[in-house]
Amino acid sequence: MANPGELAERLVGRPVSLVTDNGAPAPMRRLVILNPPVVEPRLGIRRSASLEARKIVPQLVRSGSQTIVFGQTRLQVELLLNYLDREIEADGRGLGVAHGGAVRAYRGGYLPLERRAIEAGLRSGAVRCVVATSALELGIDIGRLDSAVLVGYPGTIASLWQRLGRAGRRDGAALQLLITGGGPLDQFIAKHPEFLLEQSPERAFVDPDNLLI
């Protein structure tokens, strides 16, 4: 966020000291922005970002890359899981749900035991691909994965980097892939990728005196 010190002071009502130095290891990351091709020139309609993910993600998993895929909604996550599971299972390597759940979904509404099992599978490497909503964006330890694929721009720079930051091991390069949708904001990002690198994350605001909070 752009104002961590200010936000902390508003929350606790006291001065705080902001620590800005980051001693964490920084693996090499490659950020790729993929804008799907136009399939209906008269109307300017592009191929669905979900269809692009359906082609790309199975290739990543088959190559040995442990991958997280972020969808925008619960419905999109479940559809992507169905698509990806069928594509990955089709090559006969036993990576699909039918062979132990190496491809899983993660979203709100799952029972705590289900979520903990998926998180443990990601840390151990048993789960090779997870399709998630923002429920897996931050605050949960799943280790560092090899690839992060975003199906559509999440709406804020802060969310974008949180999601992409799920990929990046200490001992190797990571792939960070944003597949843009057909909406105006996604298309702006596709045509002006420097916006993501030049702009700071959004400011966070909270009113501790609000009785509803």
Across 94-103, average pLDDT: 57
Q: Cβ(79)–Cβ(146) under 8 Å? A: no
Find out whether 173 and 25 touch, Cβ atoms under 8 Å.
no
CATH code (residue 77): 3.40.50.300
8: in domain? no
pLDDT band of 211, cuts 50, 70, 90: confident
Cβ atoms of 176 and 29 closer than 8 Å: yes
Instruction: Report whether pLDDT(19) > 90.
Output: no
Phi, psi torsion values for 103, nearest 5 degrees: -115, 120
pLDDT of residue 173 exceeding 90: no
Give the mean pLDDT of 115-144: 90
Is 87 among the domain residues?
yes
Cα–Cα distance, 151 to 182 (Å, whole number): 11
The rounded radius of gyration (Å) of the Cα atoms in the chain is 19
pTM for the model stands at 0.84
Longest dimension (CA), the chain: 59
Predicted local confidence at residue 170, as pLDDT: 60
Count other Cβ atoms within 10 Å, centred on residue 34.
15
In a domain, residue 41? The reply is yes
On whether residue 208 sits in a domain, the answer given is: no
pLDDT confidence band for 93 (50 / 70 / 90):
low
Long-range contacts of 136-139 (CB under 8 A, 24+ apart): 136/68, 136/70, 136/106, 136/166, 137/70, 137/162, 137/163, 138/162
pLDDT band at 104 (very low <50, low <70, confident <90, very high): very high
Q: d(Cα 175, Cα 150) in Å, to the nearest integer?
A: 11
Tell me, yes or no, whether 204 lies in a domain: no
Q: Which domain holds residue 190?
A: 28-198
Residue type, 90: A
In a domain, 212, yes or no: no
Does 104 map to a domain? yes
Both tokens of 58, joined, read 């199975």
Q: How many domains are contained in the chain?
A: 1
Tokens of 62: 């088959």
Please tell me whether residue 90 adopts helix, strand or coil conformation: coil
In a domain, residue 40? The reply is yes
> For residues 198 and 148, which has the higher predicted lDDT (pLDDT)?
148
Residue 92 phi/psi, 5-degree rounding, is 75, 15
| Number of neighbouring beta carbons within 10 Å of residue 9 | 14
3-state secondary structure of 99: helix
Asked whether the predicted pLDDT for residue 94 surpasses 60, the reply is no
